[in-house]
Structure 1
């Protein structure tokens, strides 16, 4: 009977963890708007990004005159807290308004950040070729 419950638990855990969405990705900014949905400044999806990986982040948003920022982050209960190391020590609290597998919407102090997942490059997906000898 214990084996049955153990197997059932493992199956349930495996299914539920495969559908979990993760915030640890590289995100491209699509829009930065105020509370009235007016664009605060133009964004460049090619160069403006937020990279979240292993508890650290990198951030670049040219419209805010922020060429590069980095630090650590904590994500829990739809709250994303950024602890900046550079350019200066500060803390920014953001609420995750929506999170899907390809989109992320963050809400700061009367500012809405709309982001889209950066597509993976083919080189990141394909395995490295190896030399085969006979």
Structure 2
């Protein structure tokens, strides 16, 4: 089963102390940290496909390109939107955007690969020589 391009999802976050660059160790300022922006974008990509995956399948991240454009202070709310733009066999490419209202906070692409969950976890635990695609 091939996933259709165009699937979208959005994830919202209100920034707390736990989300700041200071807390995450990615800087020393009390604003939304880039690692949290990345995690939010990835969460949106996962949500975009979860309900459409074949039984026993999941996706794993393989490549990320993210440009963090603007700071968001504690208390600010950001929304990450992911759109499945390209499907190439088991390889999925998403365009992602993170916005604070009308302001674009970050933009980029995330690539994920469709895998068999059981085989992937088995391989990750060292019970097999390599993770195999689904």
TM-score by structure 2 length? 0.30
Q: Which structure has the larger Rg?
A: 1
Structure with bigger strand share is 1
More RCO (CA 8 Å, sep 6+): 2
